Structure 1
Amino acid sequence: MDEILEILEENSRYSDEQIAVMAGKTVEEVREAIRDYEEKSIIAGYTTLINWENTGKETVTALIQVKITPQRGEGFDKVAERIYKFDQVKACYLMSSGGFDLTVIVEGKTMKEVAMFVSEKLAVQDNVIGTATHFVLKKYKDHGTIFKEKKTSNREVIFI
């Protein structure tokens, strides 16, 4: 049934009927598998990947490296939970690097808004001992999708 998950990961808009054909299963098998995956939180949610640069909406994305002191008996989990509950936080990952512990992906309207979030809400958290903020200048690929700019020709058309 992992094939169903791979199909959904590629495009969650496929219908149950399309997935059944692609996976060589019946529609009812697909529906049952998806229901089971959702109940077990294997399928954690459905999202749409939007290239905001093409909409004219101004957004800023930052990758923040966070160094923390783990809590006794809780490890990194409680600190991470306090951080990922902020609306600005789009993703939060525990890292294996010795230089920092969490990678936090944050979105805001402006660089100043993100900087204020880091200085007023993130860096002041108990157990946070340091942060390093990196602003995303351009997205080339995200979640397996390549963002290509539509090429326009600057050449003049001449009719003879």
Structure 2
Amino acid sequence: MEELLHILEKNGRLPVEDIAAMMGKTPVEVAAMMDEAAEKGFVRGYEALVDWEKAGVNLVEAVIELHVSPRKSRGFDEIASVIASFDEVDSVMLMSGGYDLQVTIKGRSFQEIALFVAKRLSPLDDVLSTATSFVLRTYKRSGRLYQDEETDDRECTVL
């Protein structure tokens, strides 16, 4: 199962026949494994990795570090669930180190993100403080490079 999950993580669009050949199994066996992985929640979905800058779409991404006050009964889970329920939120992760939760959000402008933090995130009772960092450029995401290799147009003359 782990081998299948690694293959799907790298390219979820591979045909079942190709995956079967890579794993030395039949397409029927691989399809059954994929169904099992989905049923057990190992695979949460399939998505395209889009380079919005290259596509010419104005999209701003921010990473927000949160210090929160966990609830006695549920720890960080309750506040993380509330934050994850916001449509603007792309991801919420419990962290070790200097802050408690890392939240990634996307919006159409810096102002839209700033308003989300000020009006929806910061006022939550369990949120003690926030620190917002805006993503200026993405070089690599999910193991894939975003920048095309620059071609060197210089010429060399050999005498």
Distance 1:44 1:94 in 2: 18
SS for the counterpart of 1:133 is strand
Deviation at 1:152, TM superposition (A): 6.3
Structure 1 segment 41-52 matched on structure 2, within 5 A: 41-52=41-52
Query: How does 1:68-147 map onto structure 2 within 5 Å?
Result: 68-97=68-97, 99-147=98-146
**In 1: Cα distance, 2:127 partner to 2:147 partner:** 38
* Cα distance in structure 1, aligned partners of 2:153 and 2:23: 45
Query: Take 1:5 and 1:152, find their aligned partners in 2: how far apart are those partners?
Result: 35
SS at match of 1:45: coil
Aligned-partner Cα distance in 1 for 2:84–2:15: 32
Task: List gaps (5 residues or longer) in structure 2.
Answer: 155-159
- String of CA shifts for 1:11-57, please: whole Å, max 9, x gaps: 00001101000111111110110000000000111111000011111
Partner of 1:7: 7
CA RMSD of aligned residues (A): 1.3
Match of 1:53 in 2: 53
Q: How many residues align?
A: 154
How far apart, CA to CA, are the structure 1 residues paired with 2:33 and 2:147? 35
TM-score by length of 2: 0.93
Unaligned runs of 5+ in 1: 156-160
Inter-CA distance 110–154: structure 2 relative to 1 (3 Å threshold): farther
**Secondary structure of 1:93's aligned partner:** strand
The one-character-per-residue Cα deviations of 1:56-100 (angstroms, maximum 9, x if unpaired) are 110100000000000110100010000011111001100011x21
Superposed displacement of residue 151, structure 1: 3.6
Q: Report the identity percentage.
A: 41
